[in-house]
Amino acid sequence: MALVESSINLEVGKVNPDLQKERDGASFNPNDMTLVLLGGPKRAQHRREVVRQLFSDPVFNQEMRYSQSKTERYDQAMHQSIRLAEYMIEKGWTDKEMQTAAVALHYDLATAVHAVMFVPTILRLATPEQQAEWLPQAASFKMIGTYAQTELGHGTNLKALETTATYDRSSECFIMNTPLPSGMKWWPGGLGKSTTHALVTANLIVDGQSHGFQVFLVQLRDVETFEELPGIEVGDIGPRISVSVTDNGYLIMRNVKIPRNNMLSKYCTVTSEGKFLRQEGTAKSNYGTMMMVRASIVDLAFQNTSQAVTIATRYGAVRRQSELKPGAKEPQIIDFVTQQYKLIPNIALAYGLHFTKEYMLSYYHQVFEEEIQKGVYDSVPELHSQSCGLKAYCTDLSMDTVEVCRRSCGGHGFMMASGLCSLLMDGLGSVTYEGENTVLYLQTARFLMKNYAAAMQGGRTARSLAFLTANHPTCELLDVFNLPQLQAVFDVRAKFMLECGAVRMSESLKNGRQQYEAWNENSVELVRASKAYLDSFTAVNFMKRVSTLDIKPELKDVLMKLCRLHALHRIVSSAEEFLQSMAINTKQLEDIRSAEIKLLASLRPDAVALVDSFDYHDQTLNSALGRYDGNVYEKMYDLTKRNPMNEQSVHPAIHKYLKPFQAKARL
Ligand SMILES: CCCCCCCCCCCCCCCC(=O)SCCNC(=O)CCNC(=O)[C@H](O)C(C)(C)COP(=O)(O)OP(=O)(O)OC[C@H]1O[C@@H](n2cnc3c(N)ncnc32)[C@H](O)[C@@H]1OP(=O)(O)O
Ligand SMILES: Cc1cc2nc3c(=O)[nH]c(=O)nc-3n(C[C@H](O)[C@H](O)[C@H](O)COP(=O)(O)OP(=O)(O)OC[C@H]3O[C@@H](n4cnc5c(N)ncnc54)[C@H](O)[C@@H]3O)c2cc1C
């Protein structure tokens, strides 16, 4: 087997000496760490080859992205989608390569929702016959689809969706209708301009009786001309916070007839006589796609976080500013401890999110690919609770991190060329789409409260909630670096927060409140309980995963430091809850704060190597500040020279407005 190269970035010229010094001084080889993160040399090499092939093609060149208008961006996003489809034919790329490419391109493709929702929903909710008919068309882009669930009036409350699919026995068709204005579909990615079809969620009505929301395949546009079909109205919903999330659209259907076979029928079907049948699964089987995408968004949160810390840490090593030692040369800004405090706990978080997404994706696969295939649905409630909670928790933390990193770059962090602004603006969608985060924390809380009640009655709890019945003595944190003791501290605080939520709920109920009133009254506390549980789950998962890794000692050593720092930093971030729960006392909090600062100093020499280990291609980062070679100022000047605003030495607006005014003013 060919030796694995040490970095994804091959064509590196002269490296900035400060960055080189950082690399030379690291305690471990970043390539070794990359192999741990990516699951071994074979996978690392494969990813590198795919990403390099991608960026050697000018179609995928990202350099002028920040100067593009919305229309130009869309043009490139469509071009990229089609080029990837060509790669499937020309280079034999499979879903695996496509997934790697999509991540490297930040999913900035006109057909992103086709890949991440349309096709997976068909795979999960369609019968084998429907799949055989539709998937080949989807693979060849004869059918380009989106997932049209959210309406102008409702996104969260799926029971209130207004679109109807009424079964017409005489024609054996469903008649699709949009009650206006609030029932129009609003937001689906790609719906605006790129798609020929949509998977539309609608209330199924048979003989005047509603059977709840079902999913229907609806053709929107003529596949040859791309013109709207009769009864269909579609368009782009208008400017949004980010230009990169492509053509989100709206859809109105007026008496659109679709064949009976177009209802996705793995779990539910309507016979030709108009009888509604539930085949298998749970009442929430149609919600399966949401669980899958939420699990994948945990991965997206890791990508955003690790890219942000890569950019800000490299820049922190290259940038020299101010005075540290009186009279000495300006220091690298990463030598300021306050700067380290912005960066290093977030590097630790990025590693923590890596292990969280590994857990989430593997648990999702275990439940969907193994248990459900055997007709076992027992884990679905826990998977739903965790995919909701971790999606919310990880995207929230990830967005906080991106903003901290952006600010840590001073003025240059405000430039698109930093790469951090687009990470922030594109990433912001992730706290809303696929379930608004507060709503998702409350779904987790619902599950936690049920389990808490079961635990109190001596019943069984879900496997991730074993701490509810564990007996942790309080104030046992004798050594702030001891992982089992830290784990106990997290568990005690999480259990306490769940208890607070449960006690408040039961007090409200005792005071005569209805269940729904008690829930609303205590929902702030319930969200806190969810966050405490998720904090605990991710920190403990990080500690457990690192402790069991069989890797080189120098890698293990640095990962142990990271998971300790992560735990300590999370405690400091929610100190009042840890104190209130008596998981720690004030003296221990003091010790934790000091230990945190000690760990910063100990991890400082490895900061650059730790972010190099994420192995991002320069074009993925697309950042003048976070370049692998560290030649920041040269790149900023180069980009500025090519900035469209500098194409003409005198802008026409000067001649159009200023000169006529000056001429008049002279009179
Ligand atoms: C591949 C790589 C991708 C990477 C990433 C790339 C990104 C780059 C591209 C950008 C792509 C953007 C793509 C965005 C695409 C959209 O945003 S699509 C639209 C997504 N929409 C949503 O998420 C809507 C949010 N709302 C909901 O999910 C539901 O309404 C809620 C909030 C869960 C509540 O539902 P409900 O039916 O009112 O349920 P509720 O009465 O609260 O609960 C009923 C029971 O069902 C259970 N339940 C609810 N939901 C579920 C479920 N899903 N499963 C199982 N059980 C459930 C509850 O736990 C509860 O159980 P019990 O406690 O009774 O036992
Ligand atoms: C970039 C982007 C891409 C998207 N892509 C798609 C797509 O491809 N397909 C698609 O179908 N949809 C898509 N969506 C829509 C998205 O799924 C919804 O916007 C999302 O589910 C939130 O629903 P909402 O907009 O109705 O928010 P709302 O529910 O109106 O939220 C507004 C506020 O009300 C609060 N709230 C609502 N209900 C509750 C409750 N029960 N308890 C407490 N607080 C509550 C929320 O916390 C929030 O603060 C996309 C959205 C974005 C931003």
> Each residue of 147-201: pLDDT tens digit?
999 999 999 999 999 999 999 999 999 999 999 999 999 999 999 999 999 999 9
Mean pLDDT across 650-654: 95
Res 34: pLDDT: 97
Angle at which helix 380-408 crosses helix 288-318, to 10 degrees, equals 20
Task: Cite the DSSP H helix spans in 377-482.
Answer: 380-408, 420-428, 437-456
CATH of domain 288-459+483-611: 1.20.140.10
Q: Where are the domains of the chain?
A: 141-280, 288-459+483-611
Q: Whose CA is nearest to atom 1 of ligand 2?
A: 429
* Six-digit token string for 31: 């390539």
Is 427 touching ligand 1 by the criterion CB < 6 Å?
A: no
Q: Under 8 Å CB-to-CB from 562, ≥6 apart: which residues?
A: 347, 348, 351, 352, 546, 603, 610
Q: Whose CA is nearest to atom 27 of ligand 1?
A: 156
Please report which confidence band the pLDDT of residue 244 belongs to, taking 50, 70 and 90 as the band edges: confident
Please report which confidence band the pLDDT of residue 286 belongs to, taking 50, 70 and 90 as the band edges: confident
Report how far apart, in Å, the C-alpha atoms of 328 and of each of 288, 317, 318, 320, 331 are: 60, 17, 17, 12, 8
Q: Whose CA is nearest to atom 52 of ligand 1?
A: 287
Tell me the DSSP string of 321-343.
-S-SSTTSPPPBGGGSHHHHHHH
Q: Whose CA is nearest to atom 46 of ligand 1?
A: 284
Known catalytic residues are 434
Q: Whose CA is nearest to atom 2 of ligand 1?
A: 296
Indicate which ligand has the atom closest to the C-alpha of 443.
Answer: 1
Q: Which helix (H) or strand (E) holds 621?
A: helix 618-621
Whether the predicted pLDDT of 294 surpasses 70: yes
Let me know: does 452 contact 499? Beta carbons within 8 Å: yes
Res 9: pLDDT: 78
How many whole angstroms separate alpha carbon 509 and alpha carbon 500? 14
pLDDT in tens, 202-224: 999 999 999 999 999 999 999 99
CA 431 / ligand 1 centre spacing (Å): 13
Residue 444 DSSP SS3: helix
pLDDT in tens, 5-43: 677 776 677 999 999 999 999 999 999 999 999 999 999
Res 375: pLDDT: 84
CA 160 / ligand 1 centre spacing (Å): 14
Indicate which ligand has the atom closest to the C-alpha of 296.
Answer: 1
Q: Under 8 Å CB-to-CB from 225, ≥6 apart: which residues?
A: none
- Report ipTM (2 d.p.): 0.98
How many whole angstroms separate alpha carbon 437 and alpha carbon 44? 33
CA 99 / ligand 2 centre spacing (Å): 26
Q: What is the chain's mean pLDDT, rounded?
A: 94
Res 519: pLDDT: 98
Within 10 A of 196 (CB to CB), how many other CB atoms are there?
A: 20
Rama region for 208: left / alpha / beta (φ>0; ψ in -120 to 50; rest)? left
Burial of 243 per CB tally in 10 Å (0-12, 13-18, 19+): buried
Res 4: pLDDT: 47
Mean pLDDT across 265-290: 85
- Tokens 């696929």, residue located: 434
Res 5: pLDDT: 61
Give per-residue burial for 575-607: e unless 16+ CB within 10 Å, then b.
eebbbebebbeeebbebbeebbeebbebbbebb
Let me know: does 129 contact 158? Beta carbons within 8 Å: no
Is 419 touching ligand 2 by the criterion CB < 6 Å?
A: no
How many whole angstroms separate alpha carbon 345 and alpha carbon 610? 12
Is 380 touching ligand 1 by the criterion CB < 6 Å?
A: yes
Q: Which helix (H) or strand (E) holds 487?
A: helix 483-510
Let me know: does 36 contact 653? Beta carbons within 8 Å: no
Residue 189 in marked binding region: yes
pLDDT in tens, 450-491: 999 999 998 888 988 988 887 765 556 778 888 999 999 999
Res 479: pLDDT: 86
Is 290 touching ligand 1 by the criterion CB < 6 Å?
A: yes
Res 281: pLDDT: 67
Res 3: pLDDT: 41
Is 347 touching ligand 1 by the criterion CB < 6 Å?
A: no
Res 2: pLDDT: 38
Mean pLDDT across 332-343: 98
Atom of ligand 2 at shortest range from CA of 191:
8
How many whole angstroms separate alpha carbon 544 and alpha carbon 364? 19
- Tokens 């089609």, residue located: 82
Whether the predicted pLDDT of 308 surpasses 60: yes
Whether the predicted pLDDT of 353 surpasses 90: yes
CA 155 / ligand 2 centre spacing (Å): 5
Least confident segment among 93-107, 181-195, 241-255: 241-255
Res 1: pLDDT: 34
Report how far apart, in Å, the C-alpha atoms of 615 and of each of 101, 542, 552, 619 are: 14, 20, 19, 12
pLDDT higher at 165 or 288: 165
Let me know: does 382 contact 454? Beta carbons within 8 Å: no
- Give the CATH number of domain 141-280; options: 1.20.1250.20, 2.40.110.10, 3.40.50.10420, 1.10.3720.10: 2.40.110.10
Whether the predicted pLDDT of 394 surpasses 80: yes
- What is the phi/psi pair of residue 474, to 5°? -80, 165
CA 229 / ligand 2 centre spacing (Å): 28
pLDDT in tens, 500-538: 999 999 999 999 999 999 999 999 999 999 999 999 999
